[in-house]
């Protein structure tokens, strides 16, 4: 006898696009993990609760090495949601699923604009009231926030520049695809150029930051020049080094 389907309501499946961080390991893996530990120790909790994709494209490793790498990352509280660029033979039920069609974030914006009709708008961090205005027509979208970014809030704007008229509290973070301009004190974290924009800068009226980053290069409070504390400062990337200088 066949089961009769009494409930005819369909299950909703919807497409949704998210921005994830992609980790690109390098060989030898031991050295890379040491460097990762070093980074993690300086920016505690950075990887917690973030979607992370492991990009193994062009990496010459076998299946057991890959599984070991995922385990190693798991021990460091980095939860891998998917693996990109791996051959079919490398993956299995015990490993995160394959991800493909990932786009470098620089292309992200244009892609979003094309799909605006079909796709859900980009998810902004849940608890924040500061929503990104979708600026479809503008060439360089930017976001202006006229209130302070409070402790515990996370402001995420991968499309472009963020201007904050007010302060960024200790325990708050601002992540922008472009530059970050803060007309107040920067006490929390600011990460500019996160979508691979090395020319992004961070400007603030008063530098008291816990962490600053441009295009993935970090500096924490301890690494910053102490004479810049409390000053109006701009921070830019020179090659692989973060440079900072006073303003005005």
Binding site for another protein (CB under 8 A): 127-129, 147-148, 150-153, 166-167, 169-171, 185, 187
Instruction: Name the CA dihedral angle for 110, 114, 117, 123, rounded to a multiple of 10 degrees.
Output: -30
Decide whether 65 or 128 has the Cβ nearer to another protein.
128
Query: Which of 180, 189, 224 lies closest to 210, judged by CA?
Result: 189
Strands 180-186 and 161-164: parallel
- Supply the minimum distance, in Å, between the C-beta of residue 205 and another protein: 11
- Supply the minimum distance, in Å, between the C-beta of residue 127 and another protein: 6
Chain centre to alpha carbon of residue 41 = 18
- Supply the minimum distance, in Å, between the C-beta of residue 211 and another protein: 16
**Side-chain half-sphere CA neighbours of 59 within 13 A:** 23
Q: Where are the beta strands (DSSP E) in the chain?
A: 21-23, 52-55, 80-84, 98-99, 142-145, 154-157, 161-164, 173-176, 180-186, 189-192, 202-207, 211-214, 217-220, 233-238, 241-246
CB 46 within 8 A of CB 40: yes
- Supply the minimum distance, in Å, between the C-beta of residue 150 and another protein: 3
Decide whether 155 or 212 has the Cβ nearer to another protein.
155
Decide whether 27 or 129 has the Cβ nearer to another protein.
129
- Supply the minimum distance, in Å, between the C-beta of residue 170 and another protein: 6
Decide whether 142 or 153 has the Cβ nearer to another protein.
153
**Side-chain half-sphere CA neighbours of 53 within 13 A:** 21
- Supply the minimum distance, in Å, between the C-beta of residue 73 and another protein: 30
Decide whether 153 or 195 has the Cβ nearer to another protein.
153
Decide whether 129 or 247 has the Cβ nearer to another protein.
129
């Amino acid at each position: 006898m066949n089961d009769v389907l009494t409930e005819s309501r369909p299950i909703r499946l919807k497409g949704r696009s998210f921005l994830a961080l992609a980790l690109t390991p390098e060989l030898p893996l031991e050295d890379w993990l040491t460097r990762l530990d070093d980074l993690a120790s300086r920016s505690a909790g950075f990887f917690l609760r973030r979607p992370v994709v492991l990009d193994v494209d062009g990496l010459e490793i076998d299946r057991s090495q890959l599984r070991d790498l995922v385990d190693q990352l798991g021990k460091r509280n980095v939860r891998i949601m998917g693996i990109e660029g791996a051959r079919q033979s490398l993956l299995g039920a015990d490993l995160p699923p394959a991800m493909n069609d990932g786009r470098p974030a620089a292309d992200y914006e244009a892609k979003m604009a094309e799909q605006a009709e079909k796709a859900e708008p980009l998810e902004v961090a849940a608890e924040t009231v500061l929503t990104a205005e979708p600026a479809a027509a503008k060439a360089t979208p930017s976001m202006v926030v006229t209130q302070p970014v409070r402790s515990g809030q996370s402001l995420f704007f991968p499309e472009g520049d963020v201007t904050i008229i007010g302060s960024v509290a200790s325990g708050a973070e601002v992540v922008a695809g472009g530059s970050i301009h803060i007309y107040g004190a920067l006490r929390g974290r600011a990460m500019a150029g996160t979508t691979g924009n090395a020319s992004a800068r961070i400007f603030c009226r008063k530098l008291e930051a816990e962490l600053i980053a441009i295009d993935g290069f970090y500096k924490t409070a301890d690494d910053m020049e102490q004479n810049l504390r409390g000053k109006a400062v701009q921070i830019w990337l020179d090659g692989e080094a973060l440079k900072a200088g006073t303003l005005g």
